Structure formats: structure tokens, C-alpha cells
Structure 1
């Protein structure tokens, strides 16, 4: 489990917590250890069953608050509902803001997460938020010896800031995959010179893998030599891994923020980011 990897990095152990359900499916939680006046960190990701995991987290936070914990930090490697961060057509929920409000109402005093879908989600919280950037760590896992002929490619416009940050850090050029709909036909093209170059496509989430594989196809069509990918949160909905395996991608690096079934993939390589969370926790504890 991700929580175990964080605890191992910090050379500590996990405290016991009872998490159960009533016969009708309602969740129930109880802290086993005495947390009175202690700083508590709860690790809970929210992929695949976001409704269930969110409700569990809310109940656990409430239980710890009632047990007189001094501070309660929610360590949520993948924070669900962040893609619903605006009302595009009116009469739609801004669910990311709702989730932030619910967690604060339950009693969290800080949030630690990784690569939020958009930076504005951070502003939905009143409590401090540590939004860890994983792209440099994942890029290093590609083990590229020479980067002279590499270009960083944003999978779409929403990945542009993430790609720019990495490109500046590594001293590389940048391009972006542009998708436009004309007469009910979606056109995909690469803006930027990648002809004869190796490319690394950047995105924060891979769910159906459609955006990622379309970007890979567009890069090959634009003359790229080899295509690599970096994704922080690998949701990998049904059929996604098969799409990736059939795509032009040589290698896709994904973090371990979400437990998945990609271990038999010949393309996907999972890299742990537990150390990054451990470092943030150490800084908080020593403040």
C-alpha cells in the first residue's frame, strides 16, 4: 500500500484504524490508538470508487477530530473530482470546491496531494495545501542519458503549464497537441517542431487513454522518432492499457498514487513517489 511505502521511508509504522461497514453498506470508523493532542496524517487515495473513498475519508477525519487530535492532515495522493473545477454550461456543480468544503467541515487542518488537475483547485481550500509536482521525478525514471534530441509535449492545452515547468527545469524545447472540432470532425495536430526528435508527452491523468494515445499518434504523424509518456495518475479505465499497448509509445512512466493492474504491461512502468510525500511530511512535523 502507498501508506506503507510512506511509513517505510519515514522509518515509522502505521497506527491501527478500524474501518468497517454496517449491513446496509454505511461506513464506520474508529481510531484504535490514543490520538489526543497528536498530529495525525491520514493516507487515502480516491480513484476507481471516489464516492466510497471520499465518504470513508470524511468519516475517519470526523472520528479523529472527536478523538481530540491536535492536527489532521489528509494525505490524498490522487484527489478525486478535481476535473469538475468549473461550471462550463451553467446549472452544473463545481464538485472540486464542494469536496474541499466537505473535508474542511469534517476537520482537516492541512491537505497534501499531488499534481492537482488545475491550480485553481488549491484555492478552493481555506486550509494549507501542499500540491507536490511529480513530473521531474517521473521524467528521471525514463533514464535518458542524452536529452539533446528530446522535446517535451503537452498532451493538450490543460497540460501546458506542467509541460512548461518540466521543459524549463530540463532545458528542453516544448510543443503542444492541439485538438479542434470542425464540422463535427476532431482534428489533432502538434504545434511545435518535433520532426526527427524524440518526444515525452506529459499529462496528469490517464483514464481512458484516448488523449494520450491520440497525442502519440499525432507526434508520429508530425515526424517524431520515438514517443515516451509521463502520467502522474494512472486510473486506466477498462480498455485503456490495451490502447496504450497498441499505441506508438515506447515507454509510459506512471506514479503509484493509484493502485492498478498494469504490472503485466510491456510499455507501462510504475515509479513510487512515496518519498516525495515523506519529505513533505517531515517538513511539516519539524515546523
Structure 2
């Protein structure tokens, strides 16, 4: 029998419930607390008795707490008798530091993945990690899920759709989403006005005028790129602008910024702690994750 062990980090419990329904698997909630000095405590409240276990723990804000909990849960599960332990971490923090951009920097995601392996995980399942090749630093089975086709099936959008990537590097995401929606796709290019020095963003090939735009990316952090793109698309005559992302980090005042710049709605996979906003809608990707597991 496969057992899903829901970790403390939200929305891990929500995802674990969704995955367990799809698999018909037993669901156990880890016990946890934080001591007055800030140290974390976790406990598996059942005997795992030679079972295969997947810990469900998104490694998102507060990232350092979530990471420590994930490491402790691996050892706790093995200590409770698990035959093997895999980790379902739909978001993994530090993934954007995937190389030494400046001398003296760490390769942060390499250290995170090696730590997860050392803790006892022999499999990692994640969603749209920043650079899929980063998972080569995990010495075990790894799965990186692309959620865009799945999320497309949950949308109810009409009109003359145009899916846009914020840059050429994200064009593959736009292509996958557009093909699932039966829509056109393109990417945004940046031009610098030689006279004013102003940066102008516009679709490379397909005009936006009169169209319903879906901006697709892996993550919204501060919202600056999406906000600027939306503003310029409206100037070019776009009818409505939506955003669709795997990870809605939405740091600081990102939501207020995006609402101010006219974003109709943000569709986000439920990989990170939920935020409340009238323009934010989460799509449950538990069934997508469940379908990827070798159980």
C-alpha cells in the first residue's frame, strides 16, 4: 500500500488530499510544532511497517522552514518503518540559483537536492522547476511535471485567444498551452528606442489588437514583468489580459500591482501557499501529480 504523508507546509495538506483521492491511497498527516527557540519538530504518528511512502511538502515560503521540515520528515518516515520514501514537492525554493552568476556564489539548488537525497529520499516529484537539468544533481528518480496542458483543460475562456510568453526562452510553455487551447502563440520582444532610451515590449509576429491575451510563465514573483507586458498590450489594443503560471509566489505588493495594471485574472497551480484576491484563481493539480507516480 502507498501512504501519503502530508507535511506542514501549506498547501501540502490540500494537495495530499487530492492525490490520495485519485490514488485511493491512505493519507496520514504529520505532527509538528516549533519550539520557542525556533527549532522544528516533526513526528509520523503511525507505524509505516514496510510501506512505500510519499511525503507531500512544498518547499515554499517560509522556504527555510519548509526545507528543514522536508529533511526531517524523510528520516522520520524511515524511522517509522517505511520501505522507501519519495518526496512530492511541487515547488522547490532556491531553484533560480542554478549556477554561479558571480564568483563566490553557491549553486543553491544543487545543495538543496543533494541534501534531500542525503536525508533519505530516493525520488523527487516537482512541478516546472526553473531549469529541468537541475534535477541531475539529485541522485535518484526525478520527475518534473509541466502543468500547462492540464491547466488548459480547466479554463473557460472565449474570444480570439493569443498565448504569449514574456520572452523567447519561455516560448515552449506558450506553445504547449496554446496547442491545448487551440490558440495562436507568440513571444514578447523588447526594443530600446534609440532616441528616448525607453524599453518597448511587443509580440514578435502576431498583433495583439482586439484579442484576448494569456501571458504564461513558470513563476510570478514581484509581478513586474507581467504588469509591464499587460500595460503595453492594452496600449496595442488588447481586449483582455490574463496570466497563467505554475507558481504564484506573488511577493510583496505583486497582486495589487497586477490588479492596478488591468490583469483580468491570474490562473495559478496550487503549488504554493494561497493568497486571497478577486483576480486570483487556483487550479488543483493533484490529479496531474497522482498520474505521474509509479504506484
2:19 is the counterpart of 1:6:
yes
User: Per-residue deviation at 1:11?
Assistant: 3.5
Give me the TM-score of the superposition, normalised by structure 2: 0.86
C-alpha separation in 2, matches of 1:182 and 1:219 = 17
Q: Equivalent residue of 1:72, what SS?
A: strand
**Mapped contact 1:37–1:68 kept (Cα < 8 A):** yes
Distance in 1 separating the partners of 2:96 and 2:52: 30
Q: Does 1:55 align with 2:68?
A: yes
- Contiguous gaps of at least 5 residues in structure 1: none
1:216 aligns with one of 220, 225, 230 = 230
Q: Look up the match of 1:276.
A: 288
Name the CA distance, whole Å, in 2 between partners of 1:171 and 1:29: 46
Residue pairs, 1:50-129, within 5 angstroms: 50-129=63-142
- The 1-side partners of 2:222 and 2:50 are apart by 44
The yes-or-no answer on 1:160 pairing with 2:171 is yes
State the alpha-carbon separation in 2 of the partners of residues 8 and 167 from structure 1: 29
Distance 1:105 1:151 in 2: 45
Given that residues 153 and 180 in structure 2 are in contact (C-alpha distance below 8 angstroms), is that contact kept between their aligned partners in structure 1? no
Q: Deviations over 1:165-212 (max 9, x none)?
A: 333444433222234678996614122222323221001111211111
Aligned equivalent of 2:50, options 26, 37, 50: 37
Shift of 1:57: 0.4
- Structure 2 gaps of 5+ residues are 1-13
Provide Cα deviations, 1:214-250, integer angstroms capped at 9, x if missing partner.
1212322333222121011111222111112112222
| 1:107-134 Cα deviation digits (max 9, x unpaired) | 1011111111122222222211111111
Deviation track 1:46-88 (CA, whole Å, cap 9, x = no partner) reads 2221011001100111222334422111011111111111222
Distance 1:53 1:179 in 2: 37
Contact 2:162 2:208 in 1 (8 A): no
**SS in structure 2 at match of 1:249:** coil
**Mean Cα deviation higher: 166-175 or 21-30:** 166-175
Matched position secondary structure for 1:97: helix
Count of aligned pairs between the two proteins: 279
Change (3 A) 1:187 1:110: same
1:247 alignment partner in structure 2: 261
- Give the TM-score, by structure 1 length: 0.88
The verdict on how the C-alpha distance between 1:226 and 1:129 changes in structure 2, with shifts beyond 3 A counting, is: same
Q: Distance in 1 between matches of 2:137 and 2:191?
A: 30
Contact 1:47 1:258 in 2 (8 A): yes
Displacement, 1:164?
2.5
**Partner residue of 1:201 out of 201, 215, 235:** 215
Q: Aligned-residue CA RMSD in angstroms?
A: 2.3
